[in-house]
């Protein structure tokens, strides 16, 4: 809840997420490598890389989230606006 | 070793000697003390002896002086107890201790030695008899006086008591004083009865003694009288016989001798009778004296009823004395006659002897022993010469005798005159004596009669006086009664008048006082009422002021409570929610706008959740600072992860002092995160949370976001603190304002 703990929490999430993703990527890589790519290493690396990248991206997004501006479309009908 | 032993021994010896000396010295000292004490003992003995001597001398001197001066003895006896015993032992009973004796009636000693004196004595008792008082007892007499006084005051019973007109004796006064006190009539009567009884007893006893004495005296007097008479008779007989003997001197021898013998016998008888008479007389006199004494005692006892007895006894005594005197006179007369006869006899015998001697001288050779014989017997025995000479002698004698006779005849007249004169003198003397005696007898008789008469008269008078007194007493009571009645009425009227006056006075006074009191009371009430009003106002204003004060006090207290609440933050946890305290404040000063505004201005969070203490914030700031430093580069524009890494690196490589004193004015290049943080930390370290918050407020970017919560917290704390301080100040001000400084 404290603002100074926010970053810590973010980092925790980030790491957890990255670990998961990495693991998942790695696992998928392994799976794919095993299943589809005849035990080649490149799907593991690919998978883990993908996982890591996804994790990094998530992390970054999480850290950026306070500064992100969310626009909103406001529909304004011209016909109804009078000067 | 030996030397050591020797030394030890010497030391021991020295010690011993020292001890001995020490012991000797005390002994000597004791001896000295003993001797000194012995000496002082001697002087102590001396002192003790002197003290004993002194005390004994004092006691002895006191006793001696007490024996001399009875007053001193009295005072000493009074002062020192048990000294009277000592004095009694030493000197006998005190002279003053015997009660005052009644002054005895002056009655001279009785002598019954001569008739005249007896007569005088018989006069004197009568006199004293008259002068004596007839008082039964002194108390009775005093009773009479008291009774007389009681007539006035008591129930009006006139007690008939012998009049107090009787003379009093001095001695009675003393006893009377002891007995002075009012007694009731019953008591008086009882006492009178008792005294009458006593009197009667005494009288009977006295009468008995008197009679006894009288009888004894009478007996002995009779005896004396008979003795005297017998003596008289004997004397007369003797003188008769002598005369006969004298006359019959010429009778025969045997008759003569028998006559002489009878004479001698008669002489003896006479002598004996006379002696007997004398003895009897003495005895009688003694008895008379005794009786006199008894009568005197009877008179001394002074009993009223015994007077008659005493009178009769005296009379008897007097008679006896008179008889005795008469008899004695007779005896003396007889004796004088006998003397005459004896003289005559002697004369005759001397003449005869002379004659015989003459005869002897003439006729010496006559046988002796014929003196008593007659001449005619001798006639034949004598010779003629003898006869002649005898005759011549006889003639001569006759001549002589004739001459003598002639001489006698010549001097007859003279002799007769002389004898007459002598006789006259003797007669006179005897006459005087007889007259005197008769006078005395008569006097005593008359006195006795007088006394009797006096007694009678006195009795009569007394009876009369009693009746008169009774009458007088009755009249007196009536008179007094009337007077008292009148006086009572007068006094009653007077007193009633007085009473009415006084009552009216009192009433007036009472009314006046009442009115005064009412006025006073009204005045007091008014003043009291005014005062009460004043007091009420004062009390009200006081109450108001007190209310204000109370409110202020309460506000203050609640603010204090709030302040205390603020302090309840411990460690990292916030304080208690300030809601209750604020509620209390609100409640304590519901109508105060200021307080309301202030309490409204409190941040809600502080109410619900409480605020953090400065220490907590300070501690938190450390972490915040570290974090802020780590993300110092991150802001809206740079917020990728790589930037994060870079800012982290930056934070590691930038060495700023932890604390920097902030400048009074901030310049734009002071707005660096690191600088700001160091300023803030400095401020925090120096307790200035506000300034630190201000610096932290200048942070931008992620650092700001990181410190955001801290900042809010700090802001809240600061706000709350500020409000609390304002409230405190306000409460203090209000409290001070309402406090009444004495």
pLDDT per position as a tens digit, B183-229:
677 888 888 889 888 888 887 888 888 888 888 888 888 888 888 88
The CA distance from B544 to B534, in Å, is 15
Residues B641, A66: C-beta atoms closer than 8 Å: no
Closest CA to B289 of B105, B106, B117, B449: B117
Residue in B215, B246, B248, B390 with CA at minimum distance from that of residue B316: B215
| Count of beta carbons in the 10 Å neighbourhood of residue B16 | 10
Tell me if B705 and A56 make a contact (CB, 8 A cut-off): no
CB B621 within 8 A of CB B681: yes
In angstroms, the CA B381 to CA B47 distance is 117
Interface test with B, best of A8, A67, A69 (most B CBs within 10 A): A67
Residues of B in contact with A59 (CB under 8 A): 641
- Residue A67 has its nearest CB partner, among B636, B644, B709, at B636
Residue A39: what pLDDT?
A: 79
- Mean pLDDT lowest among B95-104, B222-231, B508-517: B95-104
The beta-strand segments (E) located in A1-83 are none
A16 pLDDT tier (thresholds 50, 70, 90): very high
Mean pLDDT of A28-38: 85
- pLDDT at residue B99 above 50? no
Contacts B627 to A, Cβ<8 Å:
4, 7
The nearest CA of chain B is from the CA of A2 a distance in Å of 6
> A4 and chain B: CB distance < 8 Å anywhere?
yes
Euclidean distance between CA atoms B102 and B135, whole angstroms: 14
Q: Which of B624, B633, B644 is nearest to B696 (CA)?
A: B624
Cβ of B707 and A4 within 8 Å? Answer: yes
pLDDT at B249: 58
Candidates B709, B712, B713, B716: best to mutate against A (most CBs of A within 10 A) is B709
Residue B129 has pLDDT above 50, yes or no: no
Q: Alpha-carbon distance B376 to B399, whole Å?
A: 22
**Torsion of Cα atoms, B616 then B619 then B625 then B627, to 10°:** -90
Using a CB-CB distance cutoff of 8 angstroms, which residues of chain B are in contact with residue A4?
Answer: 620, 623-624, 627, 706-707, 709-710
Q: What is the pTM of this model?
A: 0.38
Q: What count of CB pairs under 8 Å joins A to B?
A: 40
* CB half-sphere exposure, B666, CA atoms < 13 A: 12
Query: From residue B638, how far is each of A70, B160, B633, B701 by CA, in Å?
Result: 18, 163, 7, 9
Q: How far apart are CA B35 and CA B29, in angstroms?
A: 9
pLDDT band at B2 (very low <50, low <70, confident <90, very high): low
Minimal Cβ distance to B706: which of A1, A4, A67: A4
Partner residue facing A56 (CB), from B620, B639, B641? B641
- Report whether pLDDT(B618) > 80: yes
Which pLDDT tens digit goes with each residue over B214-225?
888 888 888 888
Residue B427's pLDDT is: 84
Nearest to A4 among B624, B635, B639 (CB): B624
Residue numbers in B near A1 (CB within 8 A): 709
Instruction: Select the more confidently predicted residue: B561 or B37.
Output: B561
Minimum CA–CA partner of B631 in chain A: A7
Q: Mind telling me how many Å the CA of A16 is from chain B's nearest CA?
A: 16
What is the arithmetic mean of pLDDT over B303-323?
75
Q: Is B716 exposed, middle or buried (0-12, 13-18, 19+ CB in 10 A)?
A: buried
Q: Mutual orientation of helices B701-738 and B614-630 as an angle, nearest 10°?
A: 160
Between CA B738 and CA B731 the distance in angstroms is 10
Q: How far apart are CA B617 and CA B623, in angstroms?
A: 10
**Which range has the worst mean pLDDT, B24-28, B58-62, B647-651?**
B24-28
Dmax over Cα atoms in chain A, in whole Å? 71
Task: Report CA-CA distances (Å) from B682 to B106, B571, B613, B677, B691.
Answer: 149, 21, 18, 8, 10
Task: Look at B639 and A63 and tell me if their CB atoms are within 8 Å.
Answer: yes
Looking at the partner chain, which of B627, B635, B641 has a beta carbon nearest the beta carbon of A7?
B627
Q: What is the per-residue pLDDT across A45-77, written as a single tens digit (0 to 9) for each?
A: 888 898 899 999 998 888 888 888 888 889 988
Higher-confidence position of B138 and B556? B556
Quick one: pLDDT band at residue B36, thresholds 50, 70, 90? very low
Stretch B15-40: mean pLDDT = 51
Contact check, Cβ <8 Å, A66/B705: yes
> Residue B565 in contact with residue B534, Cβ under 8 Å?
no
CB A63 to CB B623 under 8 A?
no
pLDDT value of position B114: 46
- Which one of A3, A63, A66 has the shortest CB-CB distance to B707? A3
The Cα B272–Cα B234 span in angstroms is 9
The answer to whether the CB of B183 falls within 8 A of the CB of B145 is no
Q: What's the mean per-residue pLDDT of chain B?
A: 77
pLDDT one-digit tens code per residue, B336-395:
887 887 787 788 788 888 877 877 776 665 555 544 455 555 556 667 777 787 788 788
Residue B140 pLDDT:
42
Res. B136 pLDDT band, cuts 50 70 90: very low
Q: Determine the pLDDT at residue B11.
A: 57
Virtual torsion, Cα B539, B544, B545, B547, nearest 10 deg: 120
Residue of chain A whose alpha carbon sits nearest to that of B638: A64
Give B564's pLDDT tier (boundaries 50, 70, 90): confident
For residue B365, which phi and psi values (nearest 5 degrees)? Answer: -95, 20
Q: Which residues numbered 43-82 in A keep a CB inside 8 Å of some CB on B?
A: 56, 59-60, 63-64, 66-67
Q: Which of B279, B304, B309, B278 is nearest to B294 (CA)?
A: B309
Cα–Cα distance measured from residue B125 to residue B448, given in angstroms and rounded to the nearest whole number:
10
pLDDT of B501? 97
Q: Does the predicted interface ipTM exceed a cut of 0.95?
A: no
- Structural tokens at position B471: 């009458």
Between the CA atoms of B670, B671, B674 and B680, what dihedral angle is there, to the nearest 10 degrees?
80
Structure tokens at B537: 């106002």
Q: State the average pLDDT for chain A.
A: 85
CB count in 10 Å sphere of residue B540: 10
Residue keyed to tokens 């109804």: A80
Could you tell me which chain A residue has the CA closest to the CA of B701? A67
pLDDT interval class at B161 (50, 70, 90): very low
Cross-chain Cβ contact B635/A1 below 8 Å: no
Helix (H) or strand (E) holding B338: helix B306-362
């Amino acid at each position: 809840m404290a603002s100074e703990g926010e970053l810590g929490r973010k980092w925790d999430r980030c790491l957890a997420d990255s670990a998961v993703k990495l693991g998942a990527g790695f696992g998928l890589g392994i799976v794919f490598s095993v299943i589809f790519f005849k035990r080649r290493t490149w799907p593991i690396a690919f998978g883990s890389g993908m996982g890591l990248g996804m994790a990094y991206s998530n992390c970054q997004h999480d850290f950026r989230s306070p500064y992100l501006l969310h626009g909103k479309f406001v529909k304004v009908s011209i016909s109804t606006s009078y000067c | 070793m030996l030397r050591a032993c020797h030394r030890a021994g010497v030391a021991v010896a020295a010690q011993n000697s020292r001890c001995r000396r020490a012991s000797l010295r005390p002994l000597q000292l004791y001896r000295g003390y003993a001797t000194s004490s012995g000496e002082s003992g001697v002087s102590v003995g001396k002192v003790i002896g002197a003290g004993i001597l002194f005390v004994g001398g004092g006691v002895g001197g006191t006793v001696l002086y007490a024996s001399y001066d009875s007053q001193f003895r009295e005072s000493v006896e009074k002062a020192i107890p048990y000294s009277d015993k000592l004095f009694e032992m030493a000197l006998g009973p005190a002279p003053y201790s015997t009660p005052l004796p009644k002054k005895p009636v002056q009655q001279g000693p009785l002598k019954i030695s001569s008739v005249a004196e007896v007569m005088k004595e018989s006069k004197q008792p009568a006199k004293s008899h008259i002068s004596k008082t007839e008082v039964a007892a002194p108390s009775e007499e005093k009773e009479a006086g008291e009774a007389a006084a009681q007539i006035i005051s008591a129930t009006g019973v006139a007690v008939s008591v012998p009049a107090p007109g009787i003379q009093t004796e001095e001695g009675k006064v003393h006893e009377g004083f002891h007995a002075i006190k009012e007694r009731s009539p019953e008591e008086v009567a009882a006492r009178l009865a008792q005294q009458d009884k006593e009197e009667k007893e005494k009288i009977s006893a006295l009468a008995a003694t008197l009679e006894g004495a009288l009888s004894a005296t009478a007996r002995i007097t009779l005896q004396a009288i008979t003795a005297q008479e017998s003596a008289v008779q004997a004397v007369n007989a003797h003188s008769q016989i002598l005369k006969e003997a004298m006359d019959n001197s010429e009778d025969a021898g045997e008759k003569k001798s028998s006559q002489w013998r009878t004479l001698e016998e008669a002489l003896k008888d006479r002598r004996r009778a006379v002696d007997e008479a004398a003895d009897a007389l003495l005895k009688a006199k003694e008895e008379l004296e005794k009786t006199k004494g008894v009568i005197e005692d009877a008179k001394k006892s002074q009993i009223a009823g015994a007077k008659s007895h005493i009178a009769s006894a005296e009379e008897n005594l007097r008679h006896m004395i008179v008889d005795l005197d008469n008899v004695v006179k007779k005896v003396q007369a007889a004796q004088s006659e006998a003397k005459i006869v004896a003289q005559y006899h002697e004369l005759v015998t001397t003449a005869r002897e002379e004659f015989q001697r003459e005869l002897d001288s003439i006729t010496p050779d006559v046988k002796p022993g014929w003196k008593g014989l007659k001449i005619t017997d001798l006639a034949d025995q004598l010779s003629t010469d003898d006869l002649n000479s005898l005759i011549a002698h006889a003639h001569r004698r006759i001549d002589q005798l004739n001459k003598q006779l002639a001489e006698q005849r010549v001097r007859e007249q003279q002799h007769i005159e002389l004898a007459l004169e002598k006789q006259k003198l003797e007669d006179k003397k005897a006459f005087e004596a007889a007259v005197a005696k008769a006078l005395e007898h008569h006097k005593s008789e008359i006195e006795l009669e007088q006394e009797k008469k006096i007694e009678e008269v006195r009795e009569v008078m007394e009876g009369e006086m009693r009746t008169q007194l009774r009458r007088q007493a009755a009249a007196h009571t009536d008179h007094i009664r009337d007077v008292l009645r009148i006086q009572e009425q007068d006094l009653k009227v007077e007193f009633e008048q007085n009473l009415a006056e006084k009552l009216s006075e009192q009433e007036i006074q009472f009314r006046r006082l009442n009115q005064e009191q009412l006025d006073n009371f009204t005045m007091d009430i008014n003043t009291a009422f005014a005062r009460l009003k004043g007091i009420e106002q004062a009390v009200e204003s006081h109450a108001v002021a007190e209310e204000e004060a109370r409110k202020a006090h309460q506000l203050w207290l609640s603010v204090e409570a709030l302040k205390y609440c603020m302090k309840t933050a411990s460690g990292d946890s916030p304080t208690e929610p300030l809601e209750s305290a604020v509620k209390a404040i609100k409640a304590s000063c519901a109508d105060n706008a200021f307080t309301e505004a202030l309490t409204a201005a409190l941040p809600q969070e502080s109410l619900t959740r409480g605020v953090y203490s400065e220490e907590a914030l300070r501690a938190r700031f450390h972490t915040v600072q570290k974090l802020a430093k780590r993300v110092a580069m991150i802001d809206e524009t740079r917020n990728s992860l790589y930037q994060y890494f870079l800012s982290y690196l930056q934070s590691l490589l930038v060495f700023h002092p932890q604390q920097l004193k902030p400048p009074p004015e901030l310049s734009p290049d002071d707005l660096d995160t690191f600088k700001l943080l160091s300023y803030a930390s400095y401020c925090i370290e120096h307790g200035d949370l506000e300034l630190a918050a201000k610096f932290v407020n200048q942070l931008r970017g992620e650092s700001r976001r990181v410190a955001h919560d801290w900042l809010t917290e700090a802001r809240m704390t600061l706000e709350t603190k500020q409000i609390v301080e304002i409230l405190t100040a306000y409460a203090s001000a209000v409290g001070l304002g309402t406090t009444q400084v004495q």
